[in-house]
Structure formats: structure tokens, C-alpha cells
Structure 1
Amino acid sequence: MENNTLIFGLHAVMEAIQANNTIEKVYVQKGLQGAISKELELLLRKEKINTSYVPVEKLNKLTTNNHQGVVAQISPVSYINLETLVTQVSESGKTPLFLLLDQVSDVRNFGAIIRTAECTGVNGIIIQKKGNAPINGDTIKTSAGAVFNIPICRVDHIKDAMFYLQSSNISVVAATEKTNNTLYDIDFKVPCAIIMGSEGRGINPSILKLADYKAKLPLLGSIESLNVSVACGAFLYEVVRQRLL
């Protein structure tokens, strides 16, 4: 984790949050006491900021400075509001193509997905505030800098994003093996959003049942699944193929 993405100290972190800086994650020392620390915790809950309670040794590894029991990671990119993004894409005349990530937690997978999304003309990537890999140096490096060229939205819940997209006449397609349909059965020429699930669990069942369509990749070997970034690339290039016909 790069030092230039870190801020530390109770007052500094609180001021950063109140100034609407984009905070990826806050690390708080376990058992931290005091009126200011309680005020910080209330603020973290109010703003729904991803928070981990860790031993002091973890904070000491993150920074050698006087951290006062709290270290925050600031995002190197600015996030865009989902409603703003959908409006901009609709007004541009392009056929919308969005990518929703249901808690992809590995930063290298996240970076690889961002790189492929940028190369395939995805209009925006939508992630959840909690559970998704942060945007840090590893993400930026793996994306080959593509993270700076594609809009990224952070939402409280993926379900809310799905409801908004569907109400905007954008079909939601879930990439899952729990279906008989392959991605070649899906019409990707229409406005659509593709959901990719996490590395271990896949798409959350409560999210999966809300999708308009489900599709899988045909697997001809003995391995039952692909790496999520590879699977995402296959789906996105099927969209490209159909839209270029």
C-alpha cells in the first residue's frame, strides 16, 4: 500500500471524511478508546465506510508515523454517481454496456477486469462499497492505467444498482454456471449490464434471482470454473462480437 494513499490520525481521518474525500477503507485499532474514537466510529457507520478493526501491529506496518490508532486509505480515483453515468451514456447515443462486480476481492483480478472493460468499450463499472477490492497501486498496475479511463461507480448495494438499471430499460445478465443458457444464447445488442461474481462464491443468490437473464460459458475440460477476470473477458468480447456484426 503506497504511503501517498494513506492518511492517519483521528482528526485527520475525520476531517478527510467530512470533506467528502473518497475513502476506500479505514483501519481502526481493536479496543481503541476515547471520545474522539467513538465520534469517528459513529461517522464511519453513518457514511457506510468500509472499516476493519485490526491489531496495532497492522497499523504499525502500514505507517511508521503516529497513527493514533487509525489509518485510512484514500482512493486515487474519483467515483461517479450511477444516475449521472446512466444519463450521460443514454444521452451520448451509445448502446449502454455496464459491468457490475459482486464483491470481486482480489486486486489483481479487479485490475485485469478494469483493463478488459476499457478495451471492450464498457461504459462504466459498478461496485459495492463493502466487499470489493480497493483501487490501489496493484489495481492500477494490473489495469495498465485503464482505471483512469473508465467511469467507476460505488453503490451501497448491488441490488439497488440493478433496480435502477432495469428501470432505465437496461437488461441485467448474470454470468453464472447455474443455468442451461450459454452466453451465445443472449442478445447483447440491446442495452445491458453484466454481473460477475466473487472469486469463491460467485454471484450472491439474492442478487442472482433478480437478474433478467442468466448465462454461462461452455467448459469442455475437467475444471469446473474459470478465473473471474478471464470469464469476464469472454463475456465482454461476445458483446463486442455481436455488436460488430
Structure 2
Amino acid sequence: MKNIIYGIHSTAEALKQEESIDKLFVQKNLSSQNAKEVVRLAKEKKVQVSYVPIEKLNKLTQENHQGIVAKISPIQLYSIENLVESAFKKTSSPLFLLLDQVSDVRNLGAIIRTAECTGVNGIILSKQGSAALNDQTVKTSTGAIFNVPICKVDHLKDAIFFLSSYDVKTIAATEKSNDLIYDVDLKGAIALIMGSEGKGITPSILKMVNHRAKLPLLGDIESLNVSVACGAILFEAVRQRL
């Protein structure tokens, strides 16, 4: 299988070297001190840890995995500092996309594809609760994932604080608003925030944003798929910016 690291020492070194690890698989009941150190490092780096039977690990690799297998991202992630600074070097009015625990790989891939088509300058994900950046994400994005800078942060709150220092206006897409997205100024430097499939945007994040806005829904269903909603709002941003 592509994009994996296996073995206790290799995985530990990858974690120490800030390799872009999406998820760590650990054999159930693995009790060696070295294995515990790998798990400690992973949790310190906010990497998701999943305890699985050995059969799962054997499916991931036929090599001597020593009870540890890590999936690494197929892309090189940016730091938030580099992502934002490089965006402002290209334009004085960058468009950022923040995803609050969007957990479905297909939704994430579709969002990345639309983001690339609408000129998004950077995508910011939370490390915990977000879908993996894996081969399926690459496929669903039809390769767009290689064209959009992406970073992962420990907390989206920190990203919002950092963006505000650059005078980036934050706009939350939420039904908990009386304002339609069409009435919000989407020109200038902005960051659009989309919430998870089930829970939407975290309440503590909603309290921090500059604006809240929603799409009009005329049918009986109360919400759109997050990738569809994201696409509708991003193209409204494009319309205003043209």
C-alpha cells in the first residue's frame, strides 16, 4: 500500500521529523515501552490513533510492522504561516477556506476540487476530527489537491486569531443566521468557514467570526451536503470578485 510507514523506530522518527502523518494504527494490547513512546509522540502531534487487530495491520502491509503502521499524507502540508504569507504575496485579497471537522473523505475531496476551481488560496483543516488526506481524497479531488495549499492546525481558533492579524474577515456558513450569503461582502481578504456534516460549525468558533450567513433553502430538507453548500458559496464569492 502506498503512503504508509511501518515499524516502531521508523514511525517514531517520522513523527519527530514532522512528517505529515494522518493516522496511526496500533496493534491492540501492544505493550512495549517503545510502542507506548510512539503513541505518546503521535498524541503530542495531535495525530489520530486507532487500536486495531493485527489482521488490519497485515492488510496494510506484508512487511514486519512490529504492531505499528502510520498513514502519511500524499501531499506536503504547509504551516499556517507559510500558507497565509504566500497567499498575500499573490494577491491583496486572498480567499481562504476553513473546514471545521469535515470528516467524510469524499466530501473533503469534492470541496478541494471546487476550491481549486474557484481560486481558493489556501485550505485550513483541524488536525482532530478531519477526514484523512489519502489516496481516496486525491481521487475524489481529481488531483486538485496538488494545486491548493493545505495546512492542518491544532485548533481552528488559533487559525482565526492568526488570520485576524492579517485583517482577514471571517465568515461562517451557518443556518443560525438571518443574513443570506448574497448580502455579505465576499470581496477583499476573507476566510469562509464550513462546518462538519453532522454538527455544523463548533459554537465556540461561531462566537469568534465577523459574519454569519446562510444559503436560502426552499424545500423541506433543512440542510445541504457540506460540499454542495461550499460550492454554492464559493461561486458566489467568485461572482462578486469578477
Moved more, 88-97 or 214-223: 88-97
Which residue of 147, 150, 155 corresponds with 1:149?
Answer: 147
What residue is the counterpart of 1:176 in the other structure? 174
The one-letter code of the counterpart of 2:110 is: A
Task: Give the letter for the 1:149 counterpart.
Answer: N
> Secondary structure, in 3 states, of the residue corresponding to 1:4?
coil
Q: What does 1:127-142 correspond to in 2, within 5 Å?
A: 127-142=125-140
In structure 1, distance between residues paired with 2:131 and 2:37? 27
Number of the residue aligned with 2:109: 111
Kindly state the Cα deviation for residue 7 of structure 1 after the two structures are TM-superposed: 1.6
Q: What is residue 66 of structure 1 aligned with on the other side?
A: 64
Q: Kindly state the Cα deviation for residue 223 of structure 1 after the two structures are TM-superposed.
A: 0.8
How do residues 33-44 of structure 1 correspond to structure 2 at under 5 angstroms?
A: 33-44=31-42
Could you say which residue in structure 1 is the equivalent of 2:7? Answer: 9
Secondary structure of the structure 2 residue equivalent to 1:72: strand
- Paired residues in the alignment total 242
Among candidates 195, 206, 221, match of residue 219 of structure 2: 221
TM-score, normalised to structure 1, is 0.95
Q: What amino acid does structure 1 have at the position aligned with 2:104?
A: D
Q: Aligned AA for 1:218? A: P
Distance 2:18 2:203 in 1: 33
2:23 alignment counterpart: 25
* C-alpha distance in 1 between matches for 2:84 and 2:17: 26
* Alpha-carbon separation, structure 1, partners of 2:168 and 2:92: 13
* Range that drifts further, 204-213 or 118-127: 204-213
Deviations 1:160-207 (A, max 9, x none): 001111121001100000111110110001210000111111111111
Shift of 1:30: 2.4
Matched, 1:190 2:188: yes
User: Are residue 83 (structure 1) and residue 81 (structure 2) matched?
Assistant: yes
Q: How many Å separate the matches in 2 of 1:147 and 1:92?
A: 19
Could you tell me which runs of 5 or more consecutive residues in structure 1 were left unpaired when the two chains were aligned.
Answer: none
Does the 8 A contact of 2:92 with 2:188 survive in 1?
no
CA distance in 2, matches of 1:55, 1:216: 44
Q: How does 1:223-242 map to 2 (within 5 A)?
A: 223-242=221-240
Is the CA contact 2:87–2:122 (under 8 Å) kept in the aligned structure 1? no
Distance 1:112 1:48 in 2: 25
Higher mean C-alpha deviation, range 142-151 or range 9-18? 9-18
CA distance in 2, matches of 1:19, 1:85: 20
Q: Is there any run of 5+ residues in structure 2 with no aligned partner, and where?
A: none
What is the identity percentage for the equivalent residue pairs of Structure 1 and Structure 2? 59
Bigger CA drift: 235-244 or 7-16?
7-16
- Cα offset, 1:61, TM superposition: 2.9
CA–CA distance in structure 1, aligned partners of residues 193 and 184 of structure 2: 14
Distance (whole Å) between structure 1 residues aligned to residue 40 and residue 103 of structure 2: 26
Post-superposition offset of 1:237? 0.3
Deviation of residue 64 (structure 1)?
3.0
Deviation of the 1:104 alpha carbon: 0.5
Distance 2:73 2:182 in 1: 37
Among 156, 159, 180, the residue aligned to 1:158:
156
Cα distance between partner residues in 2 of 1:209 and 1:185: 20
Considering only aligned residues, what root-mean-square deviation do their CA atoms show, in Å? 1.3
**3-state secondary structure, aligned to 2:201:** coil
Secondary structure, aligned partner of 1:98 = strand
| Letter of the 1:34 counterpart | S
- Distance in 2 (alpha carbons) for counterparts of 1:49 and 1:142: 23
What TM-score, normalized by structure 2, do the two folds share? 0.96
